[in-house]
Amino acid sequence: MAHPEQPPAPVVHYPIPLHHPAAGAPLAIPAAGLPAVQSVQLPDGRIVTGYTLTPASPHPAPATRPVPAWAKTTALLAPTVGGGISAAGIGLSYAAPGLIAMSHALWSAAALIVAAVIAVPVLIRTARRATGSSSGTGSTTHITQNITATGLFGRANGTINHH
């Protein structure tokens, strides 16, 4: 792979004076009356004349307004809220095994309650059938009701029959 060419050496431009002091010509300074032109004598004795840049007047700074109270309050509360959230996260990380164990215990308790609600009537029904067939009195009682009423606010009459 070819190496890139070296850049050329920097070129230095020296100003050419209008009147060289060694030539014995009178030295005229054209900048005497112009405010934006200034003559400068270089270290080698030449005098260079050029325009000077006057710094522009800076724009006046905008009037500062006081910081609103809500901004101060928010700025003071932000680290507190952030610290509270981080403390809660650390606390939850320490409590996570216990919380998981408690959730498993609650699910176990819920399953036990559901099983009891379903199993207890089944056990009672099977116990009644077992005792009813062994004693020989396996007949069941049927109750019928006949209720009659006349009119919207009429008195109701009824009979109850045991069979």
At 106 the pLDDT is 95
Strand partners, 93: none
**CA atoms of 125 and 23, how far apart (whole Å):** 137
Ramachandran region, residue 151 (left: φ > 0; alpha: ψ -120 to 50; beta: rest): left
Cβ 154 vs Cβ 137: under 8 Å: no
Which distant-in-sequence residues (6+ apart) come within 8 Å of 49 by Cβ?
18, 29, 30, 31, 37, 38, 39, 40
Sign of CA dihedral 101, 102, 104, 109: positive
One digit per residue, the tens of pLDDT, for the chain of length 163 reads 555 566 666 666 666 555 555 545 555 555 455 556 778 788 888 888 877 776 667 778 888 889 999 999 999 999 999 999 999 999 999 999 999 999 999 999 999 999 999 999 999 988 888 776 555 555 677 888 888 888 888 888 888 777 7
At 31 the pLDDT is 47
